Amino acid sequence: MTLQAAFEAAGGLALFLLAMSMMTDGLRLFGGAGLKRLLERSTATRIKGAAVGALVTALVQSSSAVTVATIGFVNAGILKLPHAVGVVFGANMGTTMTGWLVSLTGIGFKVDALALPILAVGMALRLIAPGRRLQGLGEALAGFGLFFLGIDILQGAFGALSGGLAERLPAAAGLTGVLVYLGIGFGATVLTQSSSASIALILTAAGQQLIGFDAAAAAIIGANVGTTSTAAFAVIEATPNAKRVAAGHILFNLLTGVVALALLPLLLQLVQMANGWLEVGGRPEPALALFHTLFNLLGVVLLLPVADHIAGLLGRLFRTVEEDLGRPRHLDATVSATPALALAALREELRRMRRLVLSNVAAALAATEARPDRMARRAEAVAGLGTAITEFATTTRMSSLPRDDAETLPELIRVARYLMEASRLTPRLNGLRAAMLEPQNGAARPIVEAYLARLRQTFSALSETEAELDAGDLAVAELEGVYQTAKAGLLRLGADRRLSVDRLDLLLEGFSGCHRLVDQFAKADRRLRRPAGQVADDPGDEPEPVLEPEPGAVSPDGPEAPARRPVADQNDALTRR
């Protein structure tokens, strides 16, 4: 009988895990876009982030799914690390909903009265609903019905096991007993990779008197800490930001577990008192669900106010070479107090930023295959460095600067913005080089090769002539002629039907992006190589072109202004039409 009950318990657990998976997948399919927008738009503060994390986790019944989504938003720049930490804290609160659902079965909730109809409706929607969203809702409802059926099977199995096992299990007396059950809860979560499943097992076992109330509370603490294993496994080969978010998750659960363990006697008294007020017939499940909620809430209350400090600590972990490159090396508060030194430091930092952009351009133009992931990280480093330079420049006290130096400062900000835009456009070089190798573009290959060869010469000249203004301008002027010739050649191929309209459009777009890259870098280079204090136009500095906004670009004219496209590029677009 004991062996049969053990198999029933295993089957109930399997059904529970299947139900959790169906609920998570179904709700993500039904409300995925809405939940994503909620995470994107409603996390402006730590408190909002925690609230949204709790709400979304309670809906999808998976803190892991919310944590993974949060990691993606941090990587995409949608969420800042302090706000992401708030979402992760809230996700731990949201996952306590599982305990409350399980406790329903412990206070006389009739499973077959609701679970089976929900399962029937859910499967009907899953099979015959016309749209994917409704099918997702059906899958979630079916999972919700299976959830209660799995708990019902677990209860029956544990009821059969309780007579033989209850006497063999150790009591949770003393520190040793508490640690034993804490380890059991931790191990159960590591094995199932689901704290919800572990807590369901613990609550069901407590409800069937298989383990005592104190033992179940200690096991719940262990299960809550054990859920960090999922995050740890998920980010073994992940990005630094992903590792930082996972580290925040681990830190929260560990600290919360330590606090709960230290205050265990007090917390147990509180929930036992509350259990009497709830009048649930002395059933342990609601009290244990309250205990789980209470110590997670305590963790949020203690750690959310210092989320910024935690994020700062996490930001110093898992640093890559590219992230270190993106940190200013010449700018600090002591320099900003002396305007003349601040300007000199800004110029040095901008020269370093210029070298980073040149390095990325050289990698993109190299004949060997460049590593897109590394180039993307270096581009992020340039963007971060440009932002730091701009912020430093805006804090410099211009009132105490001589007039010429005061006029130089905005020019240096423009240099940073130009370099950021050039860095953003660098992947266009990779795209153009890849397009050249495609068989469908065979007729255009000589034209692309000639242009890329001239690009290499131009950037080689720019990198070797930092102090020679005229030489750099001459190289850029010669490239302009090659660009116009190449564009005319592509248009002829299109007119002769040797190149399809779609291919022509893609190649012209690639050429246009590379042309703008050179234009932005040359403007930055020209301004950076001027003598200090010189801001007037010189013969090598052509008038600013008439520009129009280009979506998604970084404007050299300020952080709020939309980036713009030169008239030459507008003509390209008109020509393609």
Q: Is the pLDDT of residue 164 over 60?
A: no
Angle (nearest 5°) at CA 319 between 318 and 324: 175
Q: Is the pLDDT of residue 179 over 50?
A: yes
- How far apart, in whole angstroms, are the C-alpha atoms of residue 154 and residue 205? 8
Among 343, 323, 354, CA closest to 402: 343
Q: What is the pLDDT of residues 445-454, one digit of tens each?
A: 889 889 888 8
What count of residues does the chain have? 577
E-assigned strand segments in 197-336: none
The pLDDT assigned to 556 comes to 43
pTM for the full predicted model: 0.61
564: domain CATH number is 1.20.58
Q: Which helix (H) or strand (E) segment is 497 a member of?
A: none
228 shares a domain with 121: yes
Q: Where are the alpha helices (DSSP H) in 42-95?
A: 46-60, 63-75, 81-94
Domain limits at 354?
A: 322-576
- How far apart, in whole angstroms, are the C-alpha atoms of residue 302 and residue 251? 13
Give how many domains the chain has, as a whole number: 2
Q: Is the pLDDT of residue 572 over 60?
A: no
186 shares a domain with 103: yes
Q: Is the pLDDT of residue 560 over 50?
A: no
Residue carrying structure tokens 């397009």: 435
500 shares a domain with 406: yes
Alpha carbon of 249 to those of 236, 256, 457: distances in Å?
Answer: 15, 11, 49
Q: Is the pLDDT of residue 11 over 50?
A: yes
288 shares a domain with 187: yes
240 shares a domain with 91: yes
- How far apart, in whole angstroms, are the C-alpha atoms of residue 372 and residue 355? 19
Question: How buried is residue 541: exposed, middle or buried, by Cβ count under 10 Å (0-12/13-18/19+)?
Answer: middle
Q: End of a domain among 259, 283, 315?
A: 315
- Rounded to the nearest integer, the mean pLDDT of the chain is 77
478 shares a domain with 505: yes
Q: Is the pLDDT of residue 130 over 50?
A: yes
Q: End of a domain among 315, 338, 356?
A: 315
Phi, psi of 110 (to 5 degrees): -85, 110
437 shares a domain with 288: no
271 shares a domain with 332: no
Long-range contacts of 131-138 (CB under 8 A, 24+ apart): 132/29, 133/29, 133/30, 133/31, 134/30, 135/29, 136/25, 136/26, 136/27, 136/28, 136/29, 136/30, 136/31, 136/32, 137/26, 137/27, 137/30, 138/26
Among 255, 274, 275, CA closest to 263: 255
74 shares a domain with 141: yes
The pLDDT assigned to 234 comes to 67
CB 401 within 8 A of CB 342: no
354 shares a domain with 288: no
What distance, in Å, lies between the first and last C-alpha atoms of the chain? 79
Q: Residue 548 in 3-state DSSP?
A: strand
The dihedral of CA 94, 95, 101, 103: what is its sign? negative
246-258 burial: b if 16+ Cβ within 10 Å, else e:
bbbbbbbbeebbe
The pLDDT assigned to 563 comes to 41
Q: Is the pLDDT of residue 418 over 90?
A: yes
Q: Is the pLDDT of residue 575 over 60?
A: no
363 shares a domain with 439: yes
309 shares a domain with 195: yes
- How far apart, in whole angstroms, are the C-alpha atoms of residue 459 and residue 444? 23
CB 343 within 8 A of CB 335: no
Q: End of a domain among 315, 341, 372?
A: 315
Confidence of residue 469 (pLDDT cuts 50, 70, 90): low
Q: Which of 91-95, 280-284, 370-374 has the highest mean pLDDT?
A: 91-95
Query: Which tops the pLDDT comparison, 4 or 564?
Result: 4
Tokens of 250: 């681990």
The mean pLDDT of 62-66, rounded to a whole number, is 71
Alpha carbon of 490 to those of 29, 436, 439, 494: distances in Å?
Answer: 44, 12, 16, 6
Q: What is the pLDDT of residues 102-128, one digit of tens each?
A: 777 654 555 556 778 888 888 998 888
